[in-house]
Structure 1
Amino acid sequence: MKYRDLIEQMTLEEKASLMSGKDFWQTQEIERLGISSIFLADGPHGIRKQAAAADHLGLNPSLPATCFPTAATVANSWNVELGEKIGHYLGKEAVAQRLNVLLGPGINMKRDPLCGRNFEYFSEDPYLAGKMAAGYIRGIQAHGVSACVKHFAANNQEERRMSIDTIVDERTLREIYLTAFEIAINEGKPLTVMSSYNRLNGAYTNENLHLMQDILRKEWGFDGVVVTDWGGSNDRVAGLIAGNELEMPTTAGETNAEIVQAVKSGKLDEDVLDQCVDRLLHLIFTTEQAFSSEHKPIIDAQEHHAAAQRAAEESIVLLKNEGGILPLNPASKLAIIGDFAMQPRYQGAGSSIVNPTMLDNTLQSLEKFGLNSIGYEPGFERYGKKSRSKIDKACALAKQADVVLLFIGLDEATEAEGLDRQNMRLPENQIALLEALYQVNPNIVAVLSCGAAIEMPWIHQVKGLLHGYLSGQAGAAAILRVLTGEINPSGKLAETYPLHYNDTPAASHFPGKEVSVEYREALFIGYRYYDTANVNVLYPFGYGLSYTTFDYSNLTIDESGAMFTITNSGARDGMEIAQLYVGCASTSIFRAKKELKGFSKIFLRAGESKTLHIPFDDKTFRYFNVKSNRWEVEDADYQIMIGASSADIRLQGMLHVAGSDAPLPYEQAMLPSYYSGNASKVSQSEFEQLLGRPVPNAKWDRTQPLGYNDTIAQCQYAKGWVARFAFHAITFSHWFLHKIGKRSTANLIMMSVYHMPFRGIARMTGGIMNMPMLDGMLMMVNGSFFKGLRHLLKERKKLKQTAKSK
């Protein structure tokens, strides 16, 4: 241990006190030993440091900070160096705001397009997500503060996220859901990891010894601090044994007392506690060095705004350009239509909301780009309400224009932390507007703003489609630079756009509604499924257009990697993203048809050629063998593919790779869906063959009393009348607020009440309600109203007396 001498000076109570927060965002200090508290705050794409009135839902404003494009946006750049540059700016602002730990980046996989937090995650591919995250981490930590990679692990739905049990086989867990974390931790070396809310194969992630000890600590060698997601602690002592040092936010000393009692009773070895304290002290002392007066950075808001714009410019994706309608002709008369042109949709909702230092919008930026706008009409109500008059006014303007610039997308209430989307469609009022505009002027260029994949049955009604994703505070200017041709678009999709939601592999098992969610599709998420099962898609993974063209040639392959030439065969300078995919010719072990194993982004002037070398690494040919319980390489021929997207393979060759002589992990006849790749509708029996065990009952047991990990939603069948009444009141309030257009408030009910487990009431209220008081509430819920009320009031009185005596 690094700080053994200091730890030996602490009392047991002091050691325990360091293991949870002092308040919502800060850790505990021990003044007599010179141990300071540290500050943690959200910040995947910008600092969200709340000076007062702290919350975890993005309700109260934070100090102004640069709002960079979200991770879902920057992933489209496929530029690890760009991610590292963004990290540098984030780290610099973190130091300026005296922030020790920046809670990001988020690298969970995009298992399903409807996950409400997809805007905050990079990709459906773990290799791309891990590489981008490592860049962010290196940039942030270059300034002496800590990045915190999250949410570890298999947290891929927002509904019931604090109690859902993710059921996934070991190979899929390793290859899909942990590989991004492995890359980020090994290459980025974050000082902090955040455990996720959910259970994983029966155990809460922060108590899961296999995840936290076998994999994170022993296999990957992580020696930093693990912090719970806010309110994510279930059994505090079990979490500590698993190596989850820090619980956030404060529980006002309640769990500290549990730790002390566990040590005294022998349930918890004090040496385990000491090791956790030692790792936390290293985080505290390491990050505190960043705040020395001689290193305090001066933030140039304009410089950081310009950096956010450059990041957006490189991440915007051109999806359609029929007839070369883009870049825009400066002489064209433009009708600007769409609410997002006036009020940009530039970031997600929830804990990652940033209070931007400045904010561009399209209407204010038009003049400096020399565009000939003949007027603006909003065209639609932002939150979905239908308005015929708005459509009529927009159509009247469109009739007078050469080109319609239509700004559409998803609103802030649709994509939000704590909630999953209900469908993959644009709001009906926006589709109605588009259809009406198409009748009067077919020259439509749509600018799309949303953080995840959507269905586009209307795609034939636009000639141009530019996807800005959620492009941050400078996104409007970046989009205009691409529309006018000042910037040649170079972004490519980091996720697949299916034709219909029902085409997606997890559609029949997303989200888990009650006890568990089963990942029956296994390895076959995103392009791995579509390519292997031969399912047509709208836009494939890795797809994106340019204003120039690129030719690929001269592929050579050896044991070190693939070498080839790219030529800019068009008339404009531009950047191209070359992608290396690998497919195994053997059929002994089921695999995806191809998997991303490398990529490179290169700038080429018109007519220029360059030779690229994409190296193989330790992840190029490996698979996880469930019989040997380790990574293996199959002795086989491998197809090496170089593509402009997963569906546009330009060059290919074969390479034989010697194997590690491992036993075959599967009986092919028992897993027909997985060996065919048609894994969207796998039977329970076949999934159990893959798991090697029965799946747990996915339904709530409605005969048992409700407990700590049951949710408020389960009050619908509670024995106590007061609980059933509360449930109906909550559901009515949600319906009513949604009906009258108060969607954000309605969403808040679902996020912070409906899907909250009872223990969350104690864990998230900072000591206002403790677990003994919660016992009284559960008595009331389970039918003993007066007994429970007396117990709750008695424990509340005790809590007040204890607080007064301190």
Structure 2
Amino acid sequence: MSTLKTGFVSFFITAMTLSASAQKTTPIYLDVTQPIEERVENALSLMTTEEKVALCHAQSKFSSKGAARLGIPEVWTSDGPHGIREEVYWDEWSGAQWTNDSCTAFPALTCLAATFNPELSLLYGKSIGEEARYRNKTMLLGPGVNIYRTPLNGRNFEYMGEDPYLASCMVVPYVQGVQANGVAACVKHFALNNQEKWRGHINVNVSDRALYEIYLPAFKAAVQEGQAWSIMGSYNQFRGEHCCHNDLLLNKILKKDWEFDGLVISDWGGVHNTDQAVNNGLDIEMGTYTNGLTTSGHFPYSDYYLADPFLKGIKDGKYEMAVLDDKARRILRLIFRTTMSANRPFGRFVSPEHSEAARKIACEGIVLLKNNEEFFPIPVGKYKKIAVIGENASRSMVIGGGSSSLKVAYEVSPLQGLKDKYGDKHITYSLGYASGPSLYGREEPSKLDADSLMAAAIEVAKDADIVLYIGGLNKNHFQDCEGGDRKFLDLPFGQDKLIDELLKVNKNTAVVLLSGNAVAMPWVDKVPAIMQGWYLGAEAGNALADVISGDVNPSGKLPFSFPKKLEDNGAHFFGELSYPGDSIDQYYKEDILVGYRWFDTKKIEPLFPFGYGLSYTSFTWSEPEVDRNEVKADGTLKVWFTLTNTGKIDGAETAQFYVSKPKSEVARAAKELKAFKKVFLKAGESRLVTLEVPVSSFAYYNESKSSWIVEPGNYTFLLGNSSRDIKGKLTVNVE
């Protein structure tokens, strides 16, 4: 028998060696105070081949096996990046109807990116990690960092925008916050999963330079700086191989070049071939089609590519034992970092602190796009009759969207938040338009009459002092939703016509958009004010009311560009072969010119530029200065300037530092974001702001040499509060 020893906990494990005649048992002590790698090797040495293979594939919809004989627990995963998904039945997608699995809904990751505040990303990760830990999850399936390439991508709302540097800065603290709770962050979808249409098979063709400069940096930062413990492969193909078992992405880049020591898990149903799954870097296979259970019925879990076929291949000598051991080692390492960690905290669920975090993130992410004649803020008591019109004012925005759909403890709608802020008697609501029910995988129109809804809304607007139109997209199929892309850039459900009709009867009509994507705005010059609200989670209504009333000064910045029309976007400029492809192949013809890189380089005026966002106060900038005008390629550049809040209320401004190489040996974007800092200032306050930028970040990826090159010569540095609003410039020579 084992005994408890002073200063550590010991586990009694019986190691069994099977023979034809007898079973021999040997007592083994696994000391949790020992280094993880020693524990991993110890456990690995005790496992049978069958037990190792069993680690590598699902046993239910959201779990994979441990090794019960050795006391090694299962791996339990959970969607998603915005809240902890409800429990589902063992072998079904439907909810299990538990009464204690209603979570806190946090804002979508587009909103988090719009804060331009890494401190809030850490708070987000810490908070959602606590909820995952309380629910005893091993792995949180998020965050997502796929680059915003087209505004039609149905899943953009789950990601962190169009700029690889911004996404890199925001993903690292999120990962660290989650993993501080003993829960693995699973960064997804690796890689090039930039659309939902044909996502299961479309073969993406992209240059090495665009791959390394645009689509991989956030993943690399999550691995090397965030120390992420797991990565999820994507559904699509890259250069003829599915990304869940892609030799270049998983073996050569992720595990060799980046020295990733965590595990790779497949997206659900993303595995297609045993040989490739075994040899091309996948560790755990999830979601391959099954309508049976673990060991019986049709298509059981034991039929997975990394189940019985893998085991048979090992026994037949087709696959090397070293490959199996590497997979098992990575899975064990994750288990010892999480469930079997001696220092794992307890977590907490739907706490007041989580509500406060959700509200703070939502407030800082809201972007004020237009504010003529200071329409906003609207102080309490200024107007007696406020008309609120639009389905999104009352519709739940936490359900739908695919795997990120949530069962929540509560949700404050925009309508309720405004009523709480201004009082019921001052708010009149009309639906205005209606979408259909939230159905995954199909679209169903509303049964309500659109003309009647519009007529009723117009009557309400006529009698109001001001109108707050709250519309946008929702999480239905063909909107912001997994499994299908949007069909067009315009607002759906007749909203553009509705806004025009409202303006005819009340010119004091402001538009508040809730969406995870850019939309066309044919009415942009007619309305006095526009606010981009995103999907704001459980505290949506309170956050919007805080900003609209002026209790909170908006400070969000757009994490992606809004085009005036779809053809202005780089992915769409080159026609269907660039997006969405011909159903077999797709070519990223805009190459490195994604988002503002495209707009600024091609001199195309966006509707609203990357990094843009207004405030209720005003700021002035001094000319930037630099510590020296010549720097070495391995050096660090220090730039400073004075920022002053010249308005009458407290506020925050985000300084954005862009780099340009006017004369380059290769094609370059007109500018690239290389640093940013969010600065909070009291009314009338001035502050010296310093940015430190490594010169190595000026490098481009040289395809012929497969390496990063910092060109010598003059660089122009541009300091501004968006990619189009530059407050100061300076030139520095790189030796």
TM-score normalised by the chain length of structure 1: 0.79
Deviation at 1:447, TM superposition (A): 1.0
2:105 matches 1:52: no
Instruction: Work out the CA distance in 1 between the residues paired with 2:602 and 2:433.
Output: 39
Instruction: Work out the CA distance in 2 between the residues paired with 1:99 and 1:545.
Output: 40
| SS of structure 2 residue aligned to 1:655 | strand
| SS of structure 2 residue aligned to 1:90 | helix
Deviation at 1:72, TM superposition (A): 0.9
2:127 matches 1:89: yes
1:530 match = 599
Instruction: Work out the CA distance in 2 between the residues paired with 1:576 and 1:58.
Output: 43
1:253 match = 302
2:659 matches 1:582: yes
| SS of structure 1 residue aligned to 2:401 | coil
1:378 match = 431
| SS of structure 2 residue aligned to 1:105 | coil
| SS of structure 2 residue aligned to 1:39 | strand
Q: 412, 421, 426: which one pairs with 2:475?
A: 412
Deviation at 1:5, TM superposition (A): 3.5
1:44–1:71 Cα contact (<8 Å) kept: yes
Q: 408, 417, 421: which one pairs with 1:356?
A: 408
Instruction: Work out the CA distance in 2 between the residues paired with 1:30 and 1:620.
Output: 45
Superposed CA offset, 1:430-477 (max 9, x none): 122111111111100111111111111111231111111111111111
Instruction: Work out the CA distance in 1 between the residues paired with 2:191 and 2:419.
Output: 47
2:72 match = 35
How many residues get paired? 657
Q: 326, 331, 336: which one pairs with 2:376?
A: 326
Amino acid at match of 1:370: Y
1:556–1:562 Cα contact (<8 Å) kept: yes
Deviation at 1:121, TM superposition (A): 0.7
Instruction: Work out the CA distance in 2 between the residues paired with 1:232 and 1:626.
Output: 29
Deviation at 1:365, TM superposition (A): 2.9
Instruction: Work out the CA distance in 2 between the residues paired with 1:160 and 1:367.
Output: 43
Question: Structure 1's 646 and 445: CA in aligned 2 closer, same or farther, altered over 3 A?
Answer: same
2:389 matches 1:337: yes
2:504 match = 439
1:548–1:569 Cα contact (<8 Å) kept: yes
1:638 match = 715
Superposed CA offset, 1:192-223 (max 9, x none): 00011111111122322221122111221111
| SS of structure 2 residue aligned to 1:498 | coil
Question: Structure 1's 514 and 366: CA in aligned 2 closer, same or farther, altered over 3 A?
Answer: closer
Unaligned runs of 5+ in 1: 659-806
1:263–1:270 Cα contact (<8 Å) kept: yes
2:60–2:90 Cα contact (<8 Å) kept: no
1:4 match = 41
Superposed CA offset, 1:728-753 (max 9, x none): xxxxxxxxxxxxxxxxxxxxxxxxxx
Superposed CA offset, 1:354-379 (max 9, x none): 11111102333334323562521111
| SS of structure 2 residue aligned to 1:253 | helix
Q: 586, 603, 609: which one pairs with 1:517?
A: 586
Amino acid at match of 1:629: S
2:612 match = 543
Instruction: Work out the CA distance in 2 between the residues paired with 1:207 and 1:361.
Output: 42
Instruction: Work out the CA distance in 1 between the residues paired with 2:311 and 2:474.
Output: 47
1:71–1:121 Cα contact (<8 Å) kept: yes
Which of 212-221 and 487-496 deviates more? 212-221
2:60–2:91 Cα contact (<8 Å) kept: no
1:171 match = 209
Q: 688, 702, 707: which one pairs with 1:611?
A: 688
Instruction: Work out the CA distance in 1 between the residues paired with 2:685 and 2:666.
Output: 42
Q: 156, 168, 171: which one pairs with 1:133?
A: 171
Deviation at 1:248, TM superposition (A): 0.8
| SS of structure 1 residue aligned to 2:624 | strand
Superposed CA offset, 1:234-260 (max 9, x none): 223322322211111375212322212
Unaligned runs of 5+ in 2: 1-36, 289-299, 437-444, 628-635
1:124 match = 162
1:395 match = 458
Amino acid at match of 1:277: A
Alignment of 1:152-551 (within 5 A): 152-249=190-287, 252-254=301-303, 255=305, 256-289=307-340, 295-329=345-379, 330-332=381-383, 333-346=385-398, 349-370=401-422, 373-383=426-436, 387-413=450-476, 414-507=479-572, 508=575, 509-551=578-620
Deviation at 1:291, TM superposition (A): 8.7
Deviation at 1:290, TM superposition (A): 5.6
1:626 match = 703
2:103–2:349 Cα contact (<8 Å) kept: no
Instruction: Work out the CA distance in 1 between the residues paired with 2:642 and 2:341.
Output: 44
2:11 match = none
Instruction: Work out the CA distance in 2 between the residues paired with 1:117 and 1:367.
Output: 31
1:674 match = none
1:51–1:63 Cα contact (<8 Å) kept: no
Amino acid at match of 1:468: G
State the identity %.
38
Question: Structure 1's 48 and 207: CA in aligned 2 closer, same or farther, altered over 3 A?
Answer: same
Instruction: Work out the CA distance in 1 between the residues paired with 2:213 and 2:203.
Output: 19
Instruction: Work out the CA distance in 1 between the residues paired with 2:400 and 2:730.
Output: 42
1:676 match = none
Instruction: Work out the CA distance in 1 between the residues paired with 2:132 and 2:172.
Output: 18
Instruction: Work out the CA distance in 2 between the residues paired with 1:524 and 1:389.
Output: 45
Question: Structure 1's 525 and 399: CA in aligned 2 closer, same or farther, altered over 3 A?
Answer: same
| SS of structure 2 residue aligned to 1:20 | coil
Deviation at 1:33, TM superposition (A): 1.7
Amino acid at match of 1:351: S
TM-score normalised by the chain length of structure 2: 0.86
Question: Structure 1's 60 and 597: CA in aligned 2 closer, same or farther, altered over 3 A?
Answer: farther
Instruction: Work out the CA distance in 1 between the residues paired with 2:410 and 2:462.
Output: 34
Amino acid at match of 1:388: D
Deviation at 1:69, TM superposition (A): 0.4
1:162–1:232 Cα contact (<8 Å) kept: yes
Over 4 Å off, 4+ runs: 53-62
Deviation at 1:80, TM superposition (A): 0.7
Deviation at 1:622, TM superposition (A): 1.0
Amino acid at match of 1:510: Y
